[in-house]
Structure 1
């Protein structure tokens, strides 16, 4: 099959939804997964066991693949190394096009520390000689309600900064639209956002209204943010990522809205209230 597509992350929210839609469209897929027992059973799809860090297994899993939908690996200290190993495997396997889920504002000096990981991955893919399309997704609307602690407080040093978060469903719909005709999108970088940029106080009010759970936002200093998270026992790189999520909002780096979702899917991007209603 000349245009065989590989979808990673098929056991997760984004990759799994993309795989289901493409399979329902009759598109042949390969699903590289870490655990074959968890691979979804989809028509026209075959699973292959590999991790991003296992170059040999990844090369085998990607043999014969034309287009690779590469969902970024789970957050970890060595995520960039995992990504680079997987890109090397894709090149050796003969993959022609990588569609990679990156982050809004990815840059070498991004305030959000994990945005630097995405930039490093993008740069490596650019230099690989493989055609690419980057989806720079803003934070997910779906997870905003989970920013609140057990007391219903979202706390962090975001000030009055605004966030143009995007729904996972919109990311899925854009991804499938691109994968159906990936060549048209080669070399493009798409920034995906929701329709509105909200402060965290505004987001908390919407969450309260739509879920019936009282949620509020408490602004913290950076020092307070680190201190209030120490009890989790997370490593320094993880604490930096958590806190810098809020400082990136505070500086306005996640506030810009785009029309990418509507441009590529033909429908308006979902807002926070819609996402919460769909989640009921």
Structure 2
């Protein structure tokens, strides 16, 4: 029997993948066991944080295939990931399925895409088999780009992004975990069905959610200035602003058919994601 482990089970992607797989999941790893969801099959729950190599090794002992959901944004997230990867290899995990980023590269415009690239490199170097799920930005999060006034402001211009629904990412993760040998050392681009610009997204959100949204283009200087009141952390400012510049460059605009091939259905649209379909 192959023991499947899932991290991030308290989140949308890890939790949804676990529910899809049901009693095939043998272990879930969470930061706080008190928040672990009730899942079909009642998998074993272990508590560990990515930054704690000792706890991660203990939590992953006996796991064969691991869904490693990327950690929350943090200045030290790359080091957290490297620690978790090292712990997984030392615990005897054979295959890691990692939720990466569509534009992952050492020089990615989106600054956090660079962290994903280096995490992929750590997994490749670990000796474990791997599958990289390079998901685009999430369609579900588009309303969160807007302020309370419904304005989405950023230096994106008319650039487009083939953003993906989190539900599709979770379904792909479950499909890979259900038959990991068929996906060894494979990289998949997980996108929505079409590239969407922020002006187009604002129109669709207005129609779907019944409240007004609009897009206001900014210069780089305006983007940084408008966000400095929210944080003094330069890495966070760079991450926020580069979300828009990455979309503005159209480097994330090309759709992929990987979601359709791996799930058997077309990827969800922005309207689907907004309405929870």
TM-score, length of structure 2 as denominator length:
0.98
Aligned to 1:230: 228
In the TM superposition, residue 234 of structure 1 has moved relative to its aligned partner by: 4.2
Aligned to 1:35: 32
Helix, strand or coil: the match of 1:30?
Answer: strand
- Structure 1: how far apart are the matches of 2:173 and 2:28? 16
- Structure 2: how far apart are the matches of 1:30 and 1:274? 31
Q: Deviations over 1:102-134 (max 9, x none)?
A: 001100000000000000000010011100000
Q: Deviations over 1:173-211 (max 9, x none)?
A: 111111100110001000000001011000000000000
1:14 aligns with 2:13: yes
Helix, strand or coil: the match of 1:231?
Answer: coil
In the TM superposition, residue 27 of structure 1 has moved relative to its aligned partner by: 0.7
Aligned to 1:145: 143
Residue 53 of structure 2, aligned match among 48, 52, 55 = 55
Q: Deviations over 1:44-77 (max 9, x none)?
A: 4010011101111111100011000000000000
1:97 aligns with 2:95: yes
| Aligned residue pairs, count | 276
- Structure 2: how far apart are the matches of 1:87 and 1:275? 31
Task: Write out aligned runs for 1:82-231 (5 A).
Answer: 82-231=80-229
- Structure 1: how far apart are the matches of 2:82 and 2:68? 12
Aligned 8 A contact 1:27 1:44 in 2: no
Aligned 8 A contact 2:7 2:29 in 1: yes
Aligned to 1:261: 259
1:81 aligns with 2:79: yes
Runs of 5+ unmatched residues, structure 1: none
In the TM superposition, residue 169 of structure 1 has moved relative to its aligned partner by: 0.7
Aligned 8 A contact 2:231 2:237 in 1: no
Helix, strand or coil: the match of 2:245?
Answer: helix
- Structure 2: how far apart are the matches of 1:98 and 1:28? 14
Aligned 8 A contact 2:18 2:25 in 1: no
Aligned 8 A contact 1:135 1:192 in 2: yes
- Structure 1: how far apart are the matches of 2:137 and 2:131? 19
Helix, strand or coil: the match of 1:254?
Answer: coil
Helix, strand or coil: the match of 2:24?
Answer: coil
Aligned 8 A contact 1:56 1:89 in 2: yes
Aligned Cα RMSD in Å?
0.9
- Structure 2: how far apart are the matches of 1:170 and 1:92? 31
**Moved segments of 4+, more than 6 Å:** none
- Structure 2: how far apart are the matches of 1:215 and 1:51? 38
- Structure 1: how far apart are the matches of 2:147 and 2:94? 44
Aligned to 1:65: 63
- Structure 2: how far apart are the matches of 1:39 and 1:277? 26
